[in-house]
Chains A and B, each alone.
Chain A
Protein backbone atom coordinates (compact mmCIF):
# COMPACT_ATOMS: atom_id res chain seq x y z
CA UNK A 1 0.00 0.00 0.00
CA UNK A 2 1.65 3.22 -1.09
CA UNK A 3 0.12 6.53 -2.02
CA UNK A 4 1.22 8.01 -5.33
CA UNK A 5 2.58 11.26 -3.87
CA UNK A 6 4.11 9.73 -0.74
CA UNK A 7 7.89 9.26 -0.54
CA UNK A 8 9.14 5.91 0.75
CA UNK A 9 11.19 7.36 3.61
CA UNK A 10 8.07 8.74 5.28
CA UNK A 11 6.99 5.23 6.10
CA UNK A 12 3.38 4.16 6.50
CA UNK A 13 0.87 6.79 7.61
CA UNK A 14 -0.64 6.37 11.06
CA UNK A 15 -4.38 5.62 10.82
CA UNK A 16 -5.29 8.07 13.58
CA UNK A 17 -3.37 10.94 12.00
CA UNK A 18 -4.86 10.11 8.62
CA UNK A 19 -8.39 10.08 10.02
CA UNK A 20 -7.88 13.39 11.82
CA UNK A 21 -6.51 14.97 8.68
CA UNK A 22 -9.40 13.71 6.58
CA UNK A 23 -11.86 15.01 9.16
CA UNK A 24 -10.19 18.44 9.14
CA UNK A 25 -10.35 18.63 5.35
CA UNK A 26 -13.98 17.55 5.25
CA UNK A 27 -14.89 20.13 7.91
CA UNK A 28 -13.04 22.93 6.12
CA UNK A 29 -14.73 22.09 2.81
CA UNK A 30 -18.12 21.84 4.50
CA UNK A 31 -17.74 25.28 6.10
CA UNK A 32 -17.24 26.74 2.61
CA UNK A 33 -19.87 24.70 0.78
CA UNK A 34 -22.70 24.77 3.35
CA UNK A 35 -23.76 28.44 2.88
CA UNK A 36 -23.98 27.91 -0.89
CA UNK A 37 -26.15 24.86 -0.33
CA UNK A 38 -28.49 26.88 1.88
CA UNK A 39 -28.70 29.68 -0.71
CA UNK A 40 -29.45 27.43 -3.67
CA UNK A 41 -31.87 25.27 -1.70
CA UNK A 42 -33.76 28.25 -0.30
CA UNK A 43 -33.98 29.85 -3.74
CA UNK A 44 -35.56 26.70 -5.13
CA UNK A 45 -37.86 25.95 -2.20
CA UNK A 46 -41.58 26.66 -2.05
CA UNK A 47 -43.00 29.37 0.16
CA UNK A 48 -44.75 26.89 2.43
CA UNK A 49 -41.57 24.99 3.10
CA UNK A 50 -39.59 28.17 3.86
CA UNK A 51 -42.31 29.38 6.23
CA UNK A 52 -42.51 26.02 7.94
CA UNK A 53 -38.78 25.99 8.42
CA UNK A 54 -38.46 29.58 9.60
CA UNK A 55 -36.71 31.36 6.72
CA UNK A 56 -34.34 28.92 5.11
CA UNK A 57 -34.18 25.42 3.66
CA UNK A 58 -31.13 23.17 3.62
CA UNK A 59 -32.54 20.56 1.27
CA UNK A 60 -35.85 21.31 -0.50
CA UNK A 61 -38.29 18.44 -0.85
CA UNK A 62 -40.13 20.23 -3.63
CA UNK A 63 -38.39 22.27 -6.31
CA UNK A 64 -39.94 25.53 -7.48
CA UNK A 65 -38.52 28.05 -9.94
CA UNK A 66 -40.99 30.77 -8.97
CA UNK A 67 -38.30 32.95 -7.45
CA UNK A 68 -36.31 32.98 -10.68
CA UNK A 69 -39.43 33.68 -12.72
CA UNK A 70 -40.24 36.63 -10.51
CA UNK A 71 -36.70 38.00 -10.86
CA UNK A 72 -36.60 37.77 -14.63
CA UNK A 73 -40.12 39.16 -15.03
CA UNK A 74 -39.49 42.11 -12.75
CA UNK A 75 -37.93 45.18 -14.26
CA UNK A 76 -35.28 46.39 -11.83
CA UNK A 77 -33.37 43.19 -11.22
CA UNK A 78 -33.51 42.10 -14.85
CA UNK A 79 -32.28 45.53 -15.92
CA UNK A 80 -29.49 45.51 -13.33
CA UNK A 81 -28.28 42.17 -14.66
CA UNK A 82 -28.10 43.59 -18.18
CA UNK A 83 -26.22 46.62 -16.81
CA UNK A 84 -23.75 44.45 -14.90
CA UNK A 85 -23.10 42.28 -17.95
CA UNK A 86 -22.55 45.38 -20.08
CA UNK A 87 -20.25 47.14 -17.63
CA UNK A 88 -18.28 43.92 -17.12
CA UNK A 89 -17.89 43.32 -20.86
CA UNK A 90 -16.95 46.87 -21.83
CA UNK A 91 -14.80 47.36 -18.73
CA UNK A 92 -12.85 44.16 -19.25
CA UNK A 93 -12.31 44.98 -22.93
CA UNK A 94 -11.13 48.51 -22.16
CA UNK A 95 -8.85 47.36 -19.32
CA UNK A 96 -7.32 44.64 -21.45
CA UNK A 97 -6.80 47.08 -24.31
CA UNK A 98 -4.86 49.49 -22.08
CA UNK A 99 -3.00 46.73 -20.24
CA UNK A 100 -1.80 44.70 -23.21
CA UNK A 101 -0.76 47.74 -25.24
CA UNK A 102 1.15 49.22 -22.30
CA UNK A 103 2.73 45.86 -21.47
CA UNK A 104 4.11 45.52 -24.98
CA UNK A 105 5.06 49.18 -25.22
CA UNK A 106 7.10 48.85 -22.02
CA UNK A 107 8.63 45.48 -22.81
CA UNK A 108 11.53 46.71 -24.93
CA UNK A 109 14.46 47.65 -22.76
CA UNK A 110 16.39 50.61 -24.09
CA UNK A 111 13.52 52.07 -26.09
CA UNK A 112 12.90 55.77 -25.75
CA UNK A 113 11.61 56.87 -22.30
CA UNK A 114 11.10 53.20 -21.39
CA UNK A 115 12.65 53.43 -17.93
CA UNK A 116 10.87 56.64 -17.06
CA UNK A 117 7.46 55.40 -18.21
CA UNK A 118 7.95 52.09 -16.43
CA UNK A 119 8.73 53.91 -13.18
CA UNK A 120 5.68 56.12 -13.79
CA UNK A 121 3.54 52.98 -13.94
CA UNK A 122 5.23 51.06 -11.12
CA UNK A 123 5.18 53.92 -8.61
CA UNK A 124 1.39 53.65 -8.53
CA UNK A 125 1.89 50.29 -6.76
CA UNK A 126 3.39 52.05 -3.76
CA UNK A 127 0.82 54.72 -3.12
CA UNK A 128 -2.63 55.61 -4.33
CA UNK A 129 -4.62 58.80 -3.99
CA UNK A 130 -7.42 58.92 -1.45
CA UNK A 131 -11.05 58.34 -2.26
CA UNK A 132 -12.06 62.01 -2.15
CA UNK A 133 -9.57 63.42 -4.72
CA UNK A 134 -10.48 60.64 -7.18
CA UNK A 135 -14.17 61.32 -6.63
CA UNK A 136 -13.66 65.03 -7.29
CA UNK A 137 -11.66 64.18 -10.44
CA UNK A 138 -14.46 61.97 -11.76
CA UNK A 139 -16.89 64.78 -10.99
CA UNK A 140 -14.64 67.37 -12.66
CA UNK A 141 -14.52 65.27 -15.84
CA UNK A 142 -18.32 65.09 -15.94
CA UNK A 143 -18.30 61.33 -15.47
CA UNK A 144 -20.65 61.26 -12.46
CA UNK A 145 -23.83 59.34 -13.27
CA UNK A 146 -22.29 57.74 -16.34
CA UNK A 147 -21.15 54.16 -16.72
CA UNK A 148 -17.68 55.44 -17.61
CA UNK A 149 -17.20 56.23 -13.92
CA UNK A 150 -17.37 52.49 -13.20
CA UNK A 151 -14.97 51.59 -15.98
CA UNK A 152 -12.21 54.14 -16.54
CA UNK A 153 -10.89 55.23 -13.10
CA UNK A 154 -9.83 51.72 -12.10
CA UNK A 155 -9.14 50.35 -15.57
CA UNK A 156 -5.34 50.37 -15.40
CA UNK A 157 -3.50 48.42 -12.74
CA UNK A 158 0.29 48.42 -12.73
CA UNK A 159 0.18 44.89 -11.37
CA UNK A 160 -1.62 43.57 -14.45
CA UNK A 161 0.77 45.43 -16.74
CA UNK A 162 3.73 43.86 -14.94
CA UNK A 163 2.26 40.36 -15.31
CA UNK A 164 1.56 40.66 -19.05
CA UNK A 165 4.86 42.44 -19.64
CA UNK A 166 6.76 39.68 -17.86
CA UNK A 167 5.08 37.14 -20.10
CA UNK A 168 5.89 39.09 -23.27
CA UNK A 169 9.51 39.36 -22.21
CA UNK A 170 9.64 35.60 -21.98
CA UNK A 171 8.93 35.25 -25.72
CA UNK A 172 12.14 34.20 -27.53
CA UNK A 173 14.03 37.13 -29.02
CA UNK A 174 14.47 35.26 -32.33
CA UNK A 175 10.74 35.54 -33.08
CA UNK A 176 10.92 39.33 -32.91
CA UNK A 177 14.06 39.38 -35.06
CA UNK A 178 12.48 37.15 -37.67
CA UNK A 179 9.33 39.28 -37.81
CA UNK A 180 11.41 42.43 -38.15
CA UNK A 181 13.45 40.85 -40.97
CA UNK A 182 10.20 40.29 -42.78
CA UNK A 183 9.51 44.01 -42.47
CA UNK A 184 6.90 43.89 -39.70
CA UNK A 185 6.41 47.09 -37.67
CA UNK A 186 5.62 47.20 -33.95
CA UNK A 187 1.84 47.00 -34.43
CA UNK A 188 2.24 44.07 -36.77
CA UNK A 189 4.55 42.28 -34.31
CA UNK A 190 2.08 42.88 -31.48
CA UNK A 191 -0.80 41.53 -33.53
CA UNK A 192 0.85 38.58 -35.25
CA UNK A 193 3.55 37.48 -32.82
CA UNK A 194 2.82 38.69 -29.29
CA UNK A 195 -0.97 38.33 -29.10
CA UNK A 196 -1.20 34.74 -30.37
CA UNK A 197 1.55 33.67 -27.96
CA UNK A 198 0.13 35.50 -24.94
CA UNK A 199 -3.43 34.22 -25.21
CA UNK A 200 -3.20 32.31 -21.92
CA UNK A 201 -1.96 35.18 -19.77
CA UNK A 202 -4.38 37.63 -21.41
CA UNK A 203 -7.23 35.22 -20.68
CA UNK A 204 -6.27 34.94 -17.01
CA UNK A 205 -5.83 38.69 -16.51
CA UNK A 206 -9.10 39.25 -18.39
CA UNK A 207 -10.95 36.83 -16.14
CA UNK A 208 -9.63 38.50 -13.00
CA UNK A 209 -10.63 41.89 -14.41
CA UNK A 210 -14.09 40.60 -15.28
CA UNK A 211 -14.60 39.21 -11.78
CA UNK A 212 -13.57 42.59 -10.39
CA UNK A 213 -16.03 44.53 -12.56
CA UNK A 214 -18.82 42.07 -11.84
CA UNK A 215 -18.27 42.24 -8.07
CA UNK A 216 -17.80 45.99 -7.80
CA UNK A 217 -20.45 47.64 -5.67
CA UNK A 218 -18.67 50.64 -4.20
CA UNK A 219 -17.99 52.52 -7.46
CA UNK A 220 -21.65 52.54 -8.47
CA UNK A 221 -22.63 53.53 -4.93
CA UNK A 222 -20.15 56.40 -5.09
CA UNK A 223 -20.68 57.60 -8.65
CA UNK A 224 -24.26 56.74 -9.66
CA UNK A 225 -27.11 58.67 -8.05
CA UNK A 226 -29.76 57.29 -10.35
CA UNK A 227 -31.05 54.00 -8.94
CA UNK A 228 -32.30 53.11 -12.43
CA UNK A 229 -28.65 52.78 -13.45
CA UNK A 230 -27.63 50.49 -10.59
CA UNK A 231 -25.83 47.23 -11.41
CA UNK A 232 -26.71 43.89 -9.85
CA UNK A 233 -24.44 44.12 -6.78
CA UNK A 234 -26.08 47.32 -5.59
CA UNK A 235 -29.60 46.08 -6.26
CA UNK A 236 -28.72 42.91 -4.41
CA UNK A 237 -27.43 44.98 -1.49
CA UNK A 238 -30.73 46.84 -1.35
CA UNK A 239 -32.96 43.79 -1.69
CA UNK A 240 -31.05 41.22 0.29
CA UNK A 241 -29.02 43.07 2.91
CA UNK A 242 -30.83 46.27 3.68
CA UNK A 243 -34.12 44.46 4.20
CA UNK A 244 -32.36 42.06 6.45
CA UNK A 245 -29.45 43.63 8.27
CA UNK A 246 -31.45 46.77 9.01
CA UNK A 247 -34.78 45.09 9.28
CA UNK A 248 -36.59 47.92 11.09
CA UNK A 249 -37.40 49.58 7.73
CA UNK A 250 -39.96 46.85 7.11
CA UNK A 251 -42.03 48.06 10.08
CA UNK A 252 -42.72 51.44 8.47
CA UNK A 253 -46.37 51.63 7.28
CA UNK A 254 -46.73 51.70 3.54
CA UNK A 255 -43.30 50.17 3.05
CA UNK A 256 -43.30 47.76 0.11
CA UNK A 257 -43.04 44.25 1.50
CA UNK A 258 -39.54 42.83 1.07
CA UNK A 259 -39.15 40.08 -1.48
CA UNK A 260 -39.57 36.57 -0.15
CA UNK A 261 -36.53 34.74 1.15
CA UNK A 262 -36.35 32.59 -1.93
CA UNK A 263 -36.26 35.64 -4.23
CA UNK A 264 -33.42 37.11 -2.20
CA UNK A 265 -31.49 33.87 -2.31
CA UNK A 266 -32.19 33.48 -6.03
CA UNK A 267 -30.61 36.90 -6.47
CA UNK A 268 -27.51 35.78 -4.58
CA UNK A 269 -27.38 32.59 -6.66
CA UNK A 270 -27.64 34.57 -9.91
CA UNK A 271 -24.85 36.91 -8.81
CA UNK A 272 -22.67 33.93 -7.95
CA UNK A 273 -23.35 31.93 -11.10
CA UNK A 274 -21.01 33.81 -13.50
CA UNK A 275 -18.17 33.42 -10.99
CA UNK A 276 -18.82 29.69 -10.80
CA UNK A 277 -18.88 29.48 -14.59
CA UNK A 278 -15.45 31.04 -15.04
CA UNK A 279 -14.02 29.44 -11.91
CA UNK A 280 -12.72 26.24 -13.56
CA UNK A 281 -10.68 28.38 -15.98
CA UNK A 282 -9.44 30.55 -13.15
CA UNK A 283 -8.24 27.61 -11.05
CA UNK A 284 -6.66 25.99 -14.09
CA UNK A 285 -4.54 28.98 -14.95
CA UNK A 286 -4.22 31.07 -11.83
CA UNK A 287 -1.55 29.11 -10.03
CA UNK A 288 0.55 29.04 -13.20
CA UNK A 289 -0.15 32.52 -14.48
CA UNK A 290 -0.30 34.41 -11.22
CA UNK A 291 2.60 32.66 -9.55
CA UNK A 292 5.00 33.16 -12.43
CA UNK A 293 3.99 36.79 -12.59
CA UNK A 294 4.04 37.52 -8.91
CA UNK A 295 6.17 35.16 -6.89
CA UNK A 296 8.85 33.47 -8.94
CA UNK A 297 12.02 35.45 -8.34
Chain B
Protein backbone atom coordinates (compact mmCIF):
# COMPACT_ATOMS: atom_id res chain seq x y z
CA UNK B 1 0.00 0.00 0.00
CA UNK B 2 2.77 2.40 0.89
CA UNK B 3 5.00 1.24 -1.93
CA UNK B 4 4.33 3.85 -4.53
CA UNK B 5 4.53 6.85 -2.25
CA UNK B 6 8.25 6.53 -1.94
CA UNK B 7 8.79 7.28 -5.60
CA UNK B 8 8.33 11.04 -5.89
CA UNK B 9 10.44 11.90 -2.89
CA UNK B 10 13.34 9.56 -3.38
CA UNK B 11 14.66 11.53 -6.32
CA UNK B 12 14.57 14.79 -4.41
CA UNK B 13 16.26 13.68 -1.20
CA UNK B 14 19.30 15.25 0.42
CA UNK B 15 22.34 13.49 1.82
CA UNK B 16 25.93 13.57 0.80
CA UNK B 17 26.62 15.09 -2.60
CA UNK B 18 29.68 14.57 -4.75
CA UNK B 19 31.27 18.00 -5.11
CA UNK B 20 32.21 19.67 -8.41
CA UNK B 21 31.23 16.71 -10.55
CA UNK B 22 31.21 18.66 -13.80
CA UNK B 23 34.91 19.46 -13.63
CA UNK B 24 36.03 15.88 -12.97
CA UNK B 25 36.83 13.90 -16.11
CA UNK B 26 34.75 10.80 -16.82
CA UNK B 27 37.51 8.25 -16.27
CA UNK B 28 38.46 9.81 -12.96
CA UNK B 29 34.82 9.67 -11.87
CA UNK B 30 34.59 6.05 -12.97
CA UNK B 31 37.70 5.20 -10.96
CA UNK B 32 36.39 7.11 -7.96
CA UNK B 33 32.85 5.66 -8.05
CA UNK B 34 33.66 2.13 -9.19
CA UNK B 35 33.05 0.66 -5.70
CA UNK B 36 29.60 2.29 -5.60
CA UNK B 37 28.72 0.88 -9.02
CA UNK B 38 29.91 -2.54 -7.93
CA UNK B 39 27.62 -2.32 -4.88
CA UNK B 40 24.56 -1.57 -7.00
CA UNK B 41 25.40 -4.41 -9.40
CA UNK B 42 23.75 -7.39 -7.58
CA UNK B 43 20.43 -5.61 -7.13
CA UNK B 44 20.55 -4.18 -10.65
CA UNK B 45 21.22 -7.61 -12.15
CA UNK B 46 18.31 -9.19 -10.26
CA UNK B 47 15.97 -6.40 -11.38
CA UNK B 48 17.25 -6.65 -14.95
CA UNK B 49 16.76 -10.43 -15.10
CA UNK B 50 13.43 -10.69 -13.29
CA UNK B 51 11.72 -7.39 -14.06
CA UNK B 52 13.06 -5.73 -17.20
CA UNK B 53 13.82 -8.77 -19.36
CA UNK B 54 10.44 -10.41 -18.53
CA UNK B 55 8.81 -7.07 -19.32
CA UNK B 56 10.29 -7.34 -22.81
CA UNK B 57 9.29 -11.00 -22.77
CA UNK B 58 5.67 -9.85 -22.72
CA UNK B 59 5.97 -9.76 -26.53
CA UNK B 60 4.91 -13.41 -26.45
CA UNK B 61 1.40 -11.94 -26.11
CA UNK B 62 1.80 -11.42 -29.88
CA UNK B 63 3.27 -14.88 -30.50
CA UNK B 64 2.10 -18.42 -30.80
CA UNK B 65 4.63 -19.26 -28.11
CA UNK B 66 5.89 -22.83 -28.04
CA UNK B 67 8.33 -23.46 -25.16
CA UNK B 68 10.27 -25.95 -27.27
CA UNK B 69 10.89 -23.35 -30.01
CA UNK B 70 11.55 -20.47 -27.62
CA UNK B 71 11.34 -16.73 -28.26
CA UNK B 72 13.23 -16.83 -31.53
CA UNK B 73 11.56 -19.88 -33.04
CA UNK B 74 7.91 -19.18 -32.23
CA UNK B 75 5.67 -17.55 -34.84
CA UNK B 76 4.35 -14.00 -34.67
CA UNK B 77 0.58 -13.97 -34.76
CA UNK B 78 -0.23 -10.27 -34.36
CA UNK B 79 -3.40 -9.67 -32.34
CA UNK B 80 -4.66 -13.25 -32.59
CA UNK B 81 -4.16 -13.97 -28.89
CA UNK B 82 -6.21 -10.93 -27.97
CA UNK B 83 -8.97 -11.88 -30.41
CA UNK B 84 -9.05 -15.35 -28.89
CA UNK B 85 -9.14 -13.83 -25.42
CA UNK B 86 -12.05 -11.53 -26.19
CA UNK B 87 -14.13 -14.35 -27.64
CA UNK B 88 -13.49 -16.53 -24.56
CA UNK B 89 -16.46 -16.30 -22.17
CA UNK B 90 -14.34 -17.48 -19.22
CA UNK B 91 -12.14 -14.40 -19.71
CA UNK B 92 -15.16 -12.14 -19.36
CA UNK B 93 -16.25 -14.09 -16.28
CA UNK B 94 -12.81 -13.36 -14.80
CA UNK B 95 -13.08 -9.67 -15.69
CA UNK B 96 -16.58 -9.39 -14.22
CA UNK B 97 -15.61 -11.21 -11.01
CA UNK B 98 -12.55 -8.97 -10.65
CA UNK B 99 -14.62 -5.82 -11.07
CA UNK B 100 -17.23 -7.04 -8.57
CA UNK B 101 -14.60 -7.89 -5.95
CA UNK B 102 -12.86 -4.54 -6.40
CA UNK B 103 -16.18 -2.75 -6.01
CA UNK B 104 -17.02 -4.70 -2.84
CA UNK B 105 -13.59 -3.98 -1.39
CA UNK B 106 -13.90 -0.30 -2.20
CA UNK B 107 -17.30 -0.01 -0.53
CA UNK B 108 -16.87 -2.41 2.40
CA UNK B 109 -13.11 -2.56 3.09
CA UNK B 110 -11.84 0.92 2.28
CA UNK B 111 -13.73 2.86 5.00
CA UNK B 112 -12.91 0.36 7.78
CA UNK B 113 -9.28 1.42 8.47
CA UNK B 114 -10.34 5.08 8.43
CA UNK B 115 -13.08 4.48 11.00
CA UNK B 116 -10.82 2.23 13.08
CA UNK B 117 -8.11 4.91 13.09
CA UNK B 118 -10.58 7.55 14.21
CA UNK B 119 -11.81 5.23 16.97
CA UNK B 120 -8.27 4.36 18.09
CA UNK B 121 -7.32 8.02 18.09
CA UNK B 122 -10.01 8.77 20.67
CA UNK B 123 -8.65 6.15 23.07
CA UNK B 124 -6.95 8.21 25.74
CA UNK B 125 -5.53 5.32 27.75
CA UNK B 126 -2.09 4.58 26.19
CA UNK B 127 -2.01 0.97 27.41
CA UNK B 128 -5.41 0.16 25.89
CA UNK B 129 -4.51 1.85 22.64
CA UNK B 130 -1.21 0.02 22.30
CA UNK B 131 -2.83 -3.31 23.16
CA UNK B 132 -5.57 -2.97 20.55
CA UNK B 133 -3.05 -1.80 17.97
CA UNK B 134 -0.79 -4.80 18.61
CA UNK B 135 -3.76 -7.14 18.26
CA UNK B 136 -5.20 -5.71 15.06
CA UNK B 137 -1.86 -5.36 13.24
CA UNK B 138 -1.02 -9.04 13.77
CA UNK B 139 -3.16 -10.71 11.05
CA UNK B 140 -1.34 -8.68 8.40
CA UNK B 141 1.76 -10.80 8.99
CA UNK B 142 0.06 -14.18 8.62
CA UNK B 143 0.09 -16.12 5.37
CA UNK B 144 -3.10 -16.59 3.40
CA UNK B 145 -2.91 -20.33 4.08
CA UNK B 146 -3.19 -19.61 7.79
CA UNK B 147 -5.95 -17.03 7.32
CA UNK B 148 -8.06 -19.39 5.24
CA UNK B 149 -7.46 -22.17 7.76
CA UNK B 150 -8.59 -19.90 10.59
CA UNK B 151 -11.73 -18.92 8.68
CA UNK B 152 -12.37 -22.56 7.89
CA UNK B 153 -12.13 -23.38 11.56
CA UNK B 154 -14.60 -20.70 12.60
CA UNK B 155 -16.97 -20.35 9.64
CA UNK B 156 -16.54 -23.68 7.80
CA UNK B 157 -19.04 -26.53 7.58
CA UNK B 158 -17.66 -28.12 10.76
CA UNK B 159 -16.59 -24.81 12.27
CA UNK B 160 -17.46 -23.07 15.49
CA UNK B 161 -20.36 -21.00 14.14
CA UNK B 162 -22.06 -23.91 12.41
CA UNK B 163 -21.68 -26.17 15.46
CA UNK B 164 -23.34 -23.44 17.44
CA UNK B 165 -26.18 -23.19 14.90
CA UNK B 166 -26.68 -26.96 14.82
CA UNK B 167 -26.68 -27.45 18.59
CA UNK B 168 -29.23 -24.64 18.89
CA UNK B 169 -31.54 -26.24 16.36
CA UNK B 170 -30.81 -23.82 13.51
CA UNK B 171 -29.85 -24.82 9.99
CA UNK B 172 -26.10 -24.73 9.27
CA UNK B 173 -24.69 -22.42 6.61
CA UNK B 174 -21.30 -23.17 5.09
CA UNK B 175 -20.00 -19.86 3.74
CA UNK B 176 -16.61 -21.41 2.87
CA UNK B 177 -18.00 -23.34 -0.09
CA UNK B 178 -20.94 -21.20 -1.13
CA UNK B 179 -20.40 -19.54 -4.54
CA UNK B 180 -23.12 -16.94 -3.92
CA UNK B 181 -21.46 -15.45 -0.87
CA UNK B 182 -17.88 -16.10 -1.95
CA UNK B 183 -17.07 -12.49 -2.83
CA UNK B 184 -18.38 -11.28 0.52
CA UNK B 185 -16.28 -13.95 2.20
CA UNK B 186 -13.18 -12.69 0.39
CA UNK B 187 -13.89 -9.13 1.47
CA UNK B 188 -14.45 -10.22 5.07
CA UNK B 189 -11.14 -12.08 5.05
CA UNK B 190 -9.36 -9.05 3.62
CA UNK B 191 -10.86 -6.83 6.30
CA UNK B 192 -9.87 -9.28 9.03
CA UNK B 193 -6.33 -9.51 7.72
CA UNK B 194 -5.49 -5.96 6.66
CA UNK B 195 -7.94 -3.40 8.06
CA UNK B 196 -5.93 -3.10 11.27
CA UNK B 197 -2.66 -2.70 9.43
CA UNK B 198 -4.31 -0.12 7.19
CA UNK B 199 -4.98 2.14 10.18
CA UNK B 200 -1.26 2.98 10.52
CA UNK B 201 -1.24 5.47 7.70
CA UNK B 202 -4.51 7.10 8.77
CA UNK B 203 -3.36 7.30 12.40
CA UNK B 204 -0.25 9.09 11.16
CA UNK B 205 -2.47 11.48 9.20
CA UNK B 206 -4.57 12.21 12.29
CA UNK B 207 -1.47 12.67 14.43
CA UNK B 208 -0.23 15.31 11.98
CA UNK B 209 -3.32 17.47 12.56
CA UNK B 210 -2.56 20.53 14.68
CA UNK B 211 -4.12 19.98 18.15
CA UNK B 212 -4.76 23.73 18.36
CA UNK B 213 -7.44 23.27 15.71
CA UNK B 214 -9.31 20.88 18.00
CA UNK B 215 -8.86 23.13 20.98
CA UNK B 216 -10.10 26.28 19.27
CA UNK B 217 -13.07 24.51 17.70
CA UNK B 218 -13.95 23.06 21.10
CA UNK B 219 -13.72 26.59 22.55
CA UNK B 220 -16.12 27.72 19.86
CA UNK B 221 -18.57 25.11 21.06
CA UNK B 222 -18.06 22.36 18.48
CA UNK B 223 -19.03 18.94 19.84
CA UNK B 224 -17.19 15.70 19.16
CA UNK B 225 -19.13 15.05 15.96
CA UNK B 226 -18.50 18.52 14.52
CA UNK B 227 -14.82 18.36 15.45
CA UNK B 228 -14.63 15.07 13.57
CA UNK B 229 -16.45 16.50 10.57
CA UNK B 230 -14.69 19.86 10.37
CA UNK B 231 -11.20 19.09 11.69
CA UNK B 232 -10.34 15.37 11.58
CA UNK B 233 -11.86 14.53 8.22
CA UNK B 234 -10.44 17.53 6.30
CA UNK B 235 -7.05 16.80 7.90
CA UNK B 236 -7.15 13.21 6.65
CA UNK B 237 -8.45 14.07 3.20
CA UNK B 238 -5.12 14.15 1.28
CA UNK B 239 -4.16 10.72 2.63
CA UNK B 240 -7.63 9.30 1.95
CA UNK B 241 -7.47 10.55 -1.64
CA UNK B 242 -3.95 9.17 -2.04
CA UNK B 243 -5.04 5.76 -0.73
CA UNK B 244 -8.06 5.80 -3.02
CA UNK B 245 -5.85 6.47 -6.02
CA UNK B 246 -3.44 3.69 -5.09
CA UNK B 247 -6.39 1.35 -4.59
CA UNK B 248 -7.73 2.27 -8.00
CA UNK B 249 -4.36 1.54 -9.56
CA UNK B 250 -4.63 -1.94 -8.04
CA UNK B 251 -8.28 -2.28 -9.07
CA UNK B 252 -7.54 -5.35 -11.17
CA UNK B 253 -5.40 -7.01 -8.48
CA UNK B 254 -7.77 -8.68 -6.05
CA UNK B 255 -5.95 -11.06 -3.73
CA UNK B 256 -4.45 -13.68 -6.01
CA UNK B 257 -3.07 -16.04 -3.33
CA UNK B 258 -6.24 -15.73 -1.30
CA UNK B 259 -8.49 -16.65 -4.22
CA UNK B 260 -6.22 -19.37 -5.58
CA UNK B 261 -6.46 -21.15 -2.22
CA UNK B 262 -10.26 -21.18 -2.23
CA UNK B 263 -11.11 -21.35 -5.93
CA UNK B 264 -11.64 -25.11 -5.93
CA UNK B 265 -14.13 -24.92 -3.07
CA UNK B 266 -16.58 -22.70 -4.97
CA UNK B 267 -15.60 -23.27 -8.61
CA UNK B 268 -14.18 -20.91 -11.24
CA UNK B 269 -17.57 -19.42 -12.06
CA UNK B 270 -17.59 -17.48 -8.81
CA UNK B 271 -13.88 -17.30 -8.07
CA UNK B 272 -12.00 -16.86 -11.35
CA UNK B 273 -10.32 -13.45 -11.46
CA UNK B 274 -7.81 -12.05 -13.94
CA UNK B 275 -4.73 -13.27 -12.06
CA UNK B 276 -6.05 -16.80 -11.59
CA UNK B 277 -7.17 -16.80 -15.23
CA UNK B 278 -3.57 -16.05 -16.25
CA UNK B 279 -2.23 -18.76 -13.94
CA UNK B 280 -4.61 -21.52 -15.04
CA UNK B 281 -4.46 -20.70 -18.74
CA UNK B 282 -0.71 -20.20 -18.86
CA UNK B 283 1.07 -22.32 -16.29
CA UNK B 284 -1.53 -25.06 -15.91
CA UNK B 285 -2.92 -25.34 -19.45
CA UNK B 286 0.08 -24.08 -21.40
CA UNK B 287 -1.75 -21.43 -23.43
CA UNK B 288 1.24 -19.14 -22.97
CA UNK B 289 0.25 -16.58 -25.60
CA UNK B 290 -3.33 -15.96 -24.43
CA UNK B 291 -2.35 -15.95 -20.75
CA UNK B 292 0.41 -13.41 -21.37
CA UNK B 293 -2.01 -11.32 -23.42
CA UNK B 294 -4.43 -11.25 -20.49
CA UNK B 295 -1.60 -10.32 -18.10
CA UNK B 296 -0.32 -7.58 -20.41
CA UNK B 297 -3.82 -6.19 -20.83
CA UNK B 298 -4.20 -6.09 -17.08
CA UNK B 299 -0.88 -4.28 -16.64
CA UNK B 300 -1.67 -1.65 -19.27
CA UNK B 301 -5.17 -0.99 -17.94
CA UNK B 302 -3.81 -0.73 -14.37
CA UNK B 303 -1.19 1.84 -15.41
CA UNK B 304 -3.88 3.79 -17.24
CA UNK B 305 -6.11 3.68 -14.13
CA UNK B 306 -3.36 5.13 -11.90
CA UNK B 307 -2.69 7.94 -14.36
CA UNK B 308 -6.40 8.67 -14.75
CA UNK B 309 -7.06 8.62 -10.99
CA UNK B 310 -4.13 10.94 -10.46
CA UNK B 311 -5.45 13.35 -13.05
CA UNK B 312 -8.82 13.41 -11.29
CA UNK B 313 -7.09 14.07 -7.97
CA UNK B 314 -5.23 17.01 -9.49
CA UNK B 315 -8.49 18.40 -10.80
CA UNK B 316 -9.88 18.32 -7.26
CA UNK B 317 -6.83 20.18 -6.01
CA UNK B 318 -5.20 17.20 -4.30
CA UNK B 319 -1.56 16.27 -4.66
CA UNK B 320 -2.03 12.65 -5.75
CA UNK B 321 0.81 10.18 -6.18
CA UNK B 322 3.09 12.51 -8.11
CA UNK B 323 3.02 16.23 -8.64
CA UNK B 324 1.92 17.92 -11.84
Interface residues, chain A, CB within 8 Å of chain B? Answer: 3-7, 9-10, 13, 21, 24-25, 28-29, 31-36, 38-39, 42, 53-56, 58, 97-99, 101-102, 104-115, 117-122, 124-139, 141, 152-156, 158-159, 161-163, 165-166, 168-170, 173, 176, 185-187, 190, 211, 214-218, 222, 233, 236-237, 240-242, 244-247, 264-265, 268, 271-272, 275-276, 279, 282-283, 286-287, 290-291, 293-295, 297
- Contact status of A56 and B160, CB under 8 A, knowing A133-B55, A268-B150, A279-B138: yes
CA distance A169 to B14 in the complex (A): 7
List 29 A-B pairs, Cβ < 8 Å: A4-B126, A9-B219, A25-B119, A39-B153, A54-B166, A55-B163, A56-B159, A102-B39, A105-B36, A107-B15, A110-B18, A115-B11, A117-B44, A122-B7, A125-B3, A129-B54, A129-B58, A130-B298, A133-B54, A134-B50, A136-B54, A169-B15, A186-B39, A245-B177, A246-B264, A268-B149, A279-B134, A294-B6, A295-B2
Q: Would you call B126 and A108 a contact (CB within 8 A)?
A: no
Kindly list chain A residues whose C-beta atoms are within 8 Å of the C-beta of B278.
130-132
Cross-chain contact A36 with B47 (CB below 8 angstroms): no
Contact A166 B125 (CB under 8 A): no
Interface contacts beyond A124-B47, A124-B52: sample of 7 additional A-B pairs, CB < 8 Å, sorted by A:
A55-B158, A58-B160, A105-B38, A114-B36, A132-B60, A133-B60, A241-B261
B75 within 8 A of A: no
- Interface segment, one of B90-98, B103-111, B287-295: B287-295
Given the interface contacts A7-B215, A245-B176, does A101 sit within 8 Å of B40 by beta carbon?
Answer: yes
Chain B residues packing against A (C-beta within 8 Å): 2-7, 9-11, 13-19, 21, 26, 29-30, 32-33, 35-40, 42-44, 46-47, 49-55, 57-58, 60, 67, 116, 119, 122-126, 128, 131-139, 141-146, 148-154, 156-160, 163, 166, 176-177, 192, 196, 200-201, 204, 211, 214-215, 218-219, 256-257, 260-262, 264-265, 275, 278-279, 282-283, 288, 291-292, 295-296, 298-299, 302-303, 306
Expressed in whole angstroms, the Cα–Cα distance for A283 and B129 within the complex equals 13
- Per the bound structure, the CA–CA distance linking A135 and B141 in Å amounts to 26
